[in-house]
Structure 1
């Protein structure tokens, strides 16, 4: 039986996540509608409680638990129809959670009471304090300089759960950052008019409602949860695998930092943080600041961030659909304002022949397999090879600008719009710690997956290297 749309309605119930009974799962057509975590369904394993009708057969098996608040598309004329009636199934993810082994859900809106994240799957007994997270939040914080938004937020984090006496407990870690400098009145005109190239129109198209102030969920303030969880991920990678993640600004408008000016083997965080634009070369940093100033005084805006990973364990990543570079690209492209991603040689590699592009192997003085060049960007076949991973992420100019622009209203009338509020004239300096965070989340998930699949049991010591404990530089150089 297929439910006809004209005879159907939306009925809010609780969603269930099915573990084992596949034949019962196929009986359901579900559409995940929201993201709030809900309580366990009472008497679920008895087929009763709030799990009735078409869900009864599945719940009677005791193989389900409620996962998220949801809406199920059901037949309005027969809502209690038998659960064995076959229906096509469709599941749409809500899109606010990333990862599996190390699972992060972010929440909050631009001008709400606060933003944050919940980290589920963090290993226990990891040393962690609020100051470990605060370091990266301070790098992302608004109001740092004349080239960032003047909005003043301290962005001070609080860890509400998952840490006891300075160590993670293995239970969900909740990090909360309150908002203290909201000015919703700056966005009164946006209740009807759409900002060009912003998410205002598409959020209305998807949800039929949106948070007007500051872009709501589509605001870059959402990235606070990413940075907080990324700080935890980066700490695990650094402390237990010796992996270091660094990002820096390599382009602002038409000012492009030549790749050969920066040695990715030796560039340091201090070099990157030595100027307000976060470019490790002082001369080009001044050029970038001048470029931002030039457009800032005209009321317009401009906006590549390069990210490198040193000492990445060899062998992490997966073939085919879950290649490491594909996971990194997905993570990077999920960031606000991103429009491009290049890995290794990127598009420039298309101008080379195979003999010019190939990274030839050799054995170094310590007996390790290395490559003489790194056009592959540290990943081959979707799996890390131990060389420096390098990528570039392109950010479009800020959508919210002070210039008057043509647009339309929610009731489909053409008009003009000049947006007030406080906005970044260039997003890339503050995007640096956000890019690092997303790369960290990808790598910690991949590291845990590699350990579970390939390193939990005895390894082939002739070809594989141990992921843990940390390989000391004097023993095996990275």
Structure 2
């Protein structure tokens, strides 16, 4: 599917080596101040070619807003944003046009559709996530009206994981760090591990922590559209994410109820094992999430594979690829959580009859 969301719908289009990529955001309320500078700054965070820890592919990622904004305010109509591709090296993919790259979606896409775009992977490329970041930035403009903020950073690279408590993660450091590191004592180790993999013509995985602050109580829907399931769905849909944890995540399976329950006193929770979500609804606590990225499948080592004729071949990749996709992926995590929270915020507006009556002064 190319469309995401219930009340607030986000649709993306375009391919990695096509003329452009873009998105349409439908359902955004009118009257929100549109912050062009913020939108571009968010795209700049995800942009490659800025340092040795990301892909050498340099795209300006200049967002052009085509509709939905008038005199710097949203109009309530679809917001269309386009980003033109400027730096494709399609020739780098000529040697693999008929073979399946290990770890990529080539094999499954070909068998599902009978055709695939071998130039950069087409729609399967992480290039598409630039417009998710654009959509998330627009949603942040809505969320800031309610003082809701979302931020992410890297707390693990390969087997090196921060032992800090989540409350000790340094988001100010992440804003300045080339790799969005959350642990000052491990930032250089993270960098060394990324460069070690890069120099070995290999890649390495990463773990990203995301938190959402000031989320009001009650966001999310019961049973089949719970907030935690919507967030997991959104984050698992990011290229290379293979696992998502909410709150204490997998640790809860080894705990007792007396350890896992978040007790309440004096109108607040005494802990946050649930990660800010109870019964599928936000509980007013900080929402905490961990996303685990696999190593970038595009590596420059020889690998065994097969071509479209089922013949055994050796795959040797060229091109420009991230040695650790989780670094720039952290920016995409922030965007997807923003999209989910904005959608849930709008959905919640009609959950009670008194809310509707307020709109119509009844």
Q: Give yes or no for the alignment of 1:250 onto 2:155.
A: yes
Which of 288, 309, 320 lines up with 2:190 in the alignment? 288
In structure 2, the residue corresponding to 1:273 is in which secondary structure?
A: helix
Match of 2:165 in 1: 260
1:263 CA drift (Å): 2.9
CA contact (8 A) 1:262 1:281 kept: no
- Rg larger in 1 or in 2? 1
**How many residue pairs align between the two structures?**
356
Deviation by residue 1:103-131 (Cα, 9 ceiling, x = unmatched): 11001111111111011111111111432
1:458 CA drift (Å): 6.3
Deviation by residue 1:214-242 (Cα, 9 ceiling, x = unmatched): 1110000011111111101112111x211
Q: Give yes or no for the alignment of 1:272 onto 2:174.
A: yes
Match of 1:338 in 2: 241
Q: Give yes or no for the alignment of 1:135 onto 2:38.
A: no
Query: 2 CA distance for matches of 1:398 and 1:139?
Result: 19
Query: 2 CA distance for matches of 1:442 and 1:285?
Result: 30
Q: Give yes or no for the alignment of 1:229 onto 2:135.
A: yes
1:280 CA drift (Å): 2.4
Match of 1:54 in 2: none
Query: 2 CA distance for matches of 1:251 and 1:406?
Result: 29
CA contact (8 A) 1:134 1:156 kept: yes
Q: Give yes or no for the alignment of 1:328 onto 2:227.
A: no
More displaced stretch, 170-179 vs 126-135: 126-135
Query: 1 CA distance for matches of 2:306 and 2:201?
Result: 21
Q: Give yes or no for the alignment of 1:448 onto 2:349.
A: no
Which of 95, 106, 111 lines up with 1:200 in the alignment? 106
Which of 334, 350, 353 lines up with 2:253 in the alignment? 350
More helix by share: 2
Deviation by residue 1:146-200 (Cα, 9 ceiling, x = unmatched): 0100011111110011111101111111101111101000001221110011001
List runs of 5+ in structure 1 lacking aligned partners: 1-94, 364-368, 460-478
Match of 2:86 in 1: 180
Q: Give yes or no for the alignment of 1:145 onto 2:51.
A: yes
Q: Give yes or no for the alignment of 1:213 onto 2:119.
A: yes
In structure 2, the residue corresponding to 1:214 is in which secondary structure?
A: coil
CA contact (8 A) 2:35 2:141 kept: no
Deviation by residue 1:415-451 (Cα, 9 ceiling, x = unmatched): 1011000000001111111000100010011000001
Query: 2 CA distance for matches of 1:99 and 1:199?
Result: 24
Deviation by residue 1:372-429 (Cα, 9 ceiling, x = unmatched): 0100110011111101100101111111110000000001100101100000000111
In structure 2, the residue corresponding to 1:313 is in which secondary structure?
A: coil
Query: 2 CA distance for matches of 1:116 and 1:258?
Result: 39
1:315 CA drift (Å): 1.0
Deviation by residue 1:355-378 (Cα, 9 ceiling, x = unmatched): 111110111xxxxx3110100110
Q: How does 1:281-430 map to 2 (within 5 A)?
A: 281-303=183-205, 304-363=207-266, 369-430=267-328
In the superposition, the TM-score normalised over structure 1's length comes to 0.73
Query: 1 CA distance for matches of 2:13 and 2:107?
Result: 21
In structure 1, the residue corresponding to 2:314 is in which secondary structure?
A: strand
Query: 2 CA distance for matches of 1:280 and 1:341?
Result: 18
In structure 1, the residue corresponding to 2:165 is in which secondary structure?
A: helix
